[in-house]
Every structure is written in structure tokens, then in C-alpha cells.
Amino acid sequence: MRMVDIIDKKRNGGELTQEEIQTFVDGVVSGEIPDYQTSAFLMATYFKDMTDAERSELTMAMMKSGDHLDLSSIPGLKVDKHSTGGVGDKTSIPLAPIVAALGIPVPMISGRGLGHTGGTLDKLEAIPGYQVEISESDFLKQVRDQGLAIVGATGNIAPADKKIYALRDVTDTVDSIPLIASSIMSKKIASGTDALVIDVKTGAGAFMKTLDDSRKLAKALVGIGKGVGMDCMAIISDMNQPLGNAIGNALEIKESIDLLKGQAPADITELVMTLGAHMVVMSGKADDLETARAMCEKTITDGSALQKFGDMVAAQGGDRNVIDHPEIMPQAKFKIELPAKTSGVVSKVEADEMGIASMLLGGGRQKADDQLDYAVGIMMNKKVGDPVKAGESLLTIYSNREDVADIKQRLYDNIEVRDTAEPFTLIHETIR
């Protein structure tokens, strides 16, 4: 079978067979298919989409390209959560300890930042000593002993995704439903979780900009999961403005700890509690969302979730003193305010542009091998719907360079202050 014929079929809108998809994935992993043909295939898929059957075949071929984790030595139903990526989205960091504090094992395999979106692993690495690359046996032991771990893909999980992902990033084929769905689900199926809650982001800061596309992606993800017998559901949550107030690695760890102390902004707290409640119901520890949510909230008031977070940090080599002394993480030299030019109500904060600004300060990667500056980022002082007076600070820039005129201009261009603001909806839909 020639790769050029497979590309041709997809380019002309044909439905690929299992054998053709397998040939493509095998060739990517072995290196027999050159990057230029893989890129052409990705672009053809981007434009012509895939049928449900093709999406499932692609997911399974990518999943089988590597190892399958066996979590059977960990007692109980294992529950995980995955987000399609956003700005200020540190949800996993407080969520895993909240759920684990209720005795539900959370084996979480997370990713790094991509484009304007942050990555859970990068954020955790802001904690001195925290190791995200641990062996499979240490990962299993930690989930057995502590009830949770947040790590990078151990060993050889879905190597096809690693290669395809790197090419998608540089060929502008990231925001494709079949490619996102197969990328996420191949890793999640390989990671062996029993149940999965997916947080599909929608809006300016998400890969899917419209509710309609986000709904299609959510249905594709849930459909693939259910097809392999995984208990799977999705929520669609808003990513037009950043989530919470903090954007940037150390700043987001601090906000995650604040959440575990019951002191975080309302939007991030609400999302974490909603996702947590779904995970608890899926685990069978509660019959309904209301009870499950109350259980999650109790882990905050009784301090058990904060304790779990500290246990996880320590087990992965990190310094748990970060809980009371966030200043042990890298600190920015300059804190620069962005004063409002007019009085009114904040009507728009473009999430993707806030993410890009944080990346340009050094908080994200512009090239794959860029070193991150964990200290830098942005703290939103005003969000959509907040009243503001001229001269009041809209946000604070945390920077290690003094001259941030370029960043300030970008931020001003992407925050609107008007007379009124549209009401803001955080959680749009639930897809089962």
C-alpha cells in the first residue's frame, strides 16, 4: 500500500479502511513515512474530516503504537480528567487531590503547554524538586500508596501521538476534531483509566472557537471512549476569558493552593467543584451530583485535599513547604500594573491573547526547546462583568524584564471596557 494513495483518498474525501489507517500509523512510528507525507495526510484530514469509524480506528492504531498501562494492581475504580487546553486552566492541580482525598484513585497523565495554552506538567515543575517523569512502577506505587499522581506520559504511551502532535503544531493542523479526539483518547485509553471526565473548552482561548465545534469534539471524544467500554462524559466550559486570575506557571500553582485553602476566585472554584462532583459520581462514591459536590467541598474545609496535595508533591520529589511558602518558587523581578484608560465595566478579556502575552514574557514556549521562566505571567485584577474606574489596575504583569511596552500594548488591545457587559456563562453543556 502506497502512502501517496492513502493521502489521495483522504484528500478526495474518501473513507479510509482500518488497514489504510494502520499503515499510516505504523509508517509514522517506524519512520518509513517521511514528515512531508505525514503533514500532507494531516492537512487532508484537517479539511476532509473523518467518519466516526475512521476516528475510532485512528485512535486505536495510535493507542496500540505503544504500551498499555495495567492499573489492576490499584484497588478501586480509577477516575481521570482531561482538558482540551486553555489559558489559566490549572484545574487538574487542585482537582486530583480533592478527588483522591475521598479515597478515589486518580492516575493522571498530563501534558505540557502548547501554543498559547498552559500545561499542567510545566506548572508543577515550578515547584522546586517536583518530578513529572517517573517510571511506570513508581507511578503505580504512588497511586496505590497516596491515591494520586500527576505525571508525564510514562515510557512508551502512544508514541504515534508524540510524532503526529509535533507535526500538527508546526503545520497548523492542531484544531481538527479527528486529530484532537484521537490524540487525547489514544493516550487516555493507553493509560488504563476506568472513567474519564473531559473538559472541552470553547471560545477565544480554546482550540474550538464555537460552541457547535466544541459540541462536535465533545461527542467525538465521548463516543470513542464509550466505544472501548470506558465510562466517559464531557462538559463544555467557557474559555473566552482566562480561568481564574493567574496565568503563568508559579502564579497558577499559588492559585491552585489558594483553591485548596478555599481562597480562590469563583470561576475556577466552580469548575473544579463541578468536575470533581462528576468524578465522584462516576466512581460510585455518591449517587447524585449534589451529594458529590458537598463531599468535594468538605475536603477543602477539613484540609484533607490540601494534605493530599502536599503528599503528592513530596512523593514526586517536590518541596511541600510550597503550601505555606509559595515564595520558594521562582519570583519575578518586576510587577507592572496595567491601569484602565476609561471607567466602565470590563466587557471582554481575550483569553488567547492573555496566554500569548504570558508566553512572550517567557512563561510558554515559542519553540519546542525553549526554557520556561516559571516566575512570569499575568494576574487578572478585573474580569468580565467587573466595574472598573479609570486608573485602576486591570491586571498585573509579572516580568523579569523591565521594559514591557510591547506586552502592555497587546494587553490593552485585547481588553475592552464598555458601559455594560454580556452575562458570562462558565459551563455551557454536559455531554454524555
Residues that bind ligand URA (CB under 6 A): 84-85, 111, 179-180, 183-184
The CA distance from 320 to 324, in Å, is 8
Cα-Cα-Cα-Cα torsion 249, 430, 276, 151, nearest 10 degrees, comes to -50
By C-beta, is 115 or 344 nearer to ligand URA?
Answer: 115
**Shortest CA distance to 86 belongs to which of 274, 355, 266?**
355
Considering just the CA atoms, what is the radius of gyration of the chain in Å?
21
The CA distance from 377 to 400, in Å, is 10
**Shortest CA distance to 379 belongs to which of 364, 402, 398?**
398
Query: Does 92 qualify as catalytic in the annotation?
Result: no
* Residue appearing with cell numbers 464555537: 210
**What's the min distance (Å) between Cβ of 47 and ligand URA?**
17
By C-beta, is 118 or 377 nearer to ligand URA?
Answer: 118
**What's the min distance (Å) between Cβ of 111 and ligand URA?**
5
Which residue out of 112, 187, 188, 201 is catalytically annotated?
187
The CA distance from 109 to 61, in Å, is 19
Q: Quick check: 203 and 354 in contact, CB under 8 A? A: no
Chain Cα centroid distance, residue 358: 16
Which residue out of 67, 122, 161, 258 is catalytically annotated?
161
**Shortest CA distance to 117 belongs to which of 92, 83, 144, 151?**
83
**What's the min distance (Å) between Cβ of 294 and ligand URA?**
31
**What's the min distance (Å) between Cβ of 32 and ligand URA?**
23
Q: Quick check: 202 and 239 in contact, CB under 8 A? A: yes
By C-beta, is 175 or 194 nearer to ligand URA?
Answer: 175
3-state secondary structure of 317: coil
By C-beta, is 86 or 326 nearer to ligand URA?
Answer: 86
**Alpha carbon separation from 144 to 29, 270, 307, 322 (Å, rounded):** 32, 29, 17, 24
By C-beta, is 85 or 118 nearer to ligand URA?
Answer: 85
Strand partners, 395: 338, 380
**What's the min distance (Å) between Cβ of 168 and ligand URA?**
7
Q: Quick check: 124 and 130 in contact, CB under 8 A? A: yes
Which residue out of 10, 64, 81, 82 is catalytically annotated?
82
Which residue out of 183, 237, 283, 358 is catalytically annotated?
183
Q: Which three cell numbers stand for residue 310?
A: 502536599
The CA distance from 118 to 123, in Å, is 8
Query: Does 82 qualify as catalytic in the annotation?
Result: yes
By C-beta, is 178 or 276 nearer to ligand URA?
Answer: 178
By C-beta, is 176 or 399 nearer to ligand URA?
Answer: 176
Query: Does 399 qualify as catalytic in the annotation?
Result: no
**Shortest CA distance to 384 belongs to which of 374, 399, 394?**
394
DSSP 8-class letter at 246: E
- Which residue is nearest to ligand URA, using beta carbons? 183
By C-beta, is 65 or 84 nearer to ligand URA?
Answer: 84
**What's the min distance (Å) between Cβ of 154 and ligand URA?**
15
Q: Quick check: 123 and 116 in contact, CB under 8 A? A: no
Query: Does 81 qualify as catalytic in the annotation?
Result: no
Query: Does 161 qualify as catalytic in the annotation?
Result: yes
Q: Which three cell numbers stand for residue 22?
A: 494502520
- Which residues are the active-site residues? 82, 161, 168, 183, 187
